[in-house]
A = this chain, B = another copy of it.
Amino acid sequence: IEEGRDDELLLYLEDVHHADIAEIINELELDQATYIIKLLDSTKTSEALMELEEDVRERILDNLSAKEIAEELENMDTDDAADIISELSEERKQEVIGQIIDEEHAEHIVELLRYDEDSAGGLMAKELVKVNENWSVTGCMAEMRAQAENVTRVHSIYVVDDKNKLKGRLSLKDLLTASSKANISDVYIENVDYVNVHTDGEEVARIMRKYDLEAIPVVDEMGRLVGRITVDDIMDFMREEAERDYQMAAGISEDVEADDSILHLTRARLPWLVLALFGGFISVTVLGTFDTAMQEHGALFFFVPLIAAMAGNVGVQSSAIVLQGLANKSLRGSLFNRLIKEVLLSLLNGFALAILLILGGIFFLGLDFWFGLTVSVSLVAVIIIASLIGTFVPIVLDKWGIDPAMATGPFITTSNDIFGILIYFTIAKVILGF
């Protein structure tokens, strides 16, 4: 298909949705992909570019001149254009922005680049339909038709005053049914949800989900309307957030996919493994200090993986529940009450497991009573301490303004392994005496 028959190819791709074109391009070789991007008309390529996988897009952009990229950006919404520009090198960024012919569009993009990627400012687009509260309904209709051309889908019409401050919103239906002599200030709805440019993306998602909004206006520090966020952008953001949290919990520190290069995957995975290795060194040292137990109570060492695994699992469970509570803002009550609750929960779980352990240990493994008691008591103690660490650490990190998601997965398992082993052998020393 590739060589020569441009007409047929164009005819075929004309009917294909840009998201599907993006999937096709993802599968192609670089030169073929660049060829198709250049061949297609600009609106469609711009849309397809947005949907490409990041690494594929990066390589295609490297093959395009600054002028060609600028042309693509002209056809994009400002938020998408800003996302793409932010992937370029500093030098290239300036070059591309300089090539954008529509000055207003360029200005908007530059403005969006200033905001943090995960804030409302970084998520919003400049394209929106707004009207002044002092306009008449008739004048407004004409103005709106002009504005609507730049906006793919009109979700809501926002009403502002002379200083561009957000006053309310207007539905298309209200406008159509209003008397044409009325002023906008008579018909608009004052009650409008909005977010600030600095509002965190997760908070924006929570508000839009809570009130089932399809778009939300964004205002700056002075209450001036500067952009709007649509539900499809928030859906993409939510999905990325969920993947990031999941990967963080699994000990993967960069955003990777199964099909990324081995080097990229190593960079994402190795740091956590190094952390686990150093944790391992500490547990080796801890165990080394109890080597006097090896002569008489060597079997104690057989239970080390059991204790460590239990400490790790309990810690991850506790931290996962707290993390989700923090993310949903559904954590109520004081830290103290929460820790008390974790202790009660751990006692319940711990006793159930200890009974299983004693029964299993005495009947199947043939342990003596004191030995079984040692392991059981340690198990209950370890579970309590592990769940307290799992609850306490994310809450404290969150209070200090550090992302509490750091304190999950490998971090919690590694530290709980060490504490678990330390507690286990200390209790053993007290009960068995060595």
Contacts and interface: CB of A to CB of B under 8 A. Distances in A.
A113 to B, nearest CB: 23
A285 B352 CA distance: 22
Q: In the complex this chain forms, how many copies of it are found?
A: 2
A109 interface: no
Max chain B C-beta neighbours (<10 A), residue from A210, A266, A320: A320
Interface string A186-206: 000001000000000000000
A125 interface: no
Interface string A322-335: 10110010111100
Interface majority SS (helix, strand, loop, mixed), chain A: helix
A330 B259 contact: yes
A325 B356 contact: no
Contact of A349 (B270, B360, B364): B270
A287 B301 contact: yes
Contacts of A414: 309
B321 A305 contact: no
B322 A258 contact: yes
B310 A276 contact: yes
Residue picked from A51, A284, A312, A331, most chain B C-beta under 10 Å: A284
A214 interface: yes
A245 B251 CA distance: 15
A325 B259 contact: yes
B313 A410 contact: yes
Given A249-B249, A258-B321, A417 B272 contact: no
Nearest to A360: B281
A357 B328 CA distance: 41
Contact of A304 (B232, B305, B344, B364): B305
A229 interface: no
Contact of A270 (B285, B331, B352): B352
Contact of A235 (B15, B231, B338): B231
Contacts of A341: 262
Interface string A261-292: 01001100110111011011101110110010
A432 interface: no
A379 B305 CA distance: 16
B365 A413 contact: no
A204 to B, nearest CB: 12
A252 B249 CA distance: 13
12 contacts: A19-B211, A242-B242, A250-B317, A250-B408, A259-B333, A276-B313, A277-B306, A280-B303, A281-B364, A284-B306, A304-B305, A309-B413
Given A51-B210, A257-B328, A265-B321, 20 more contacts: A17-B211, A19-B210, A208-B235, A209-B235, A212-B232, A231-B232, A242-B242, A243-B324, A246-B249, A246-B320, A259-B330, A262-B345, A277-B310, A280-B309, A281-B364, A281-B365, A284-B306, A287-B301, A287-B305, A309-B417
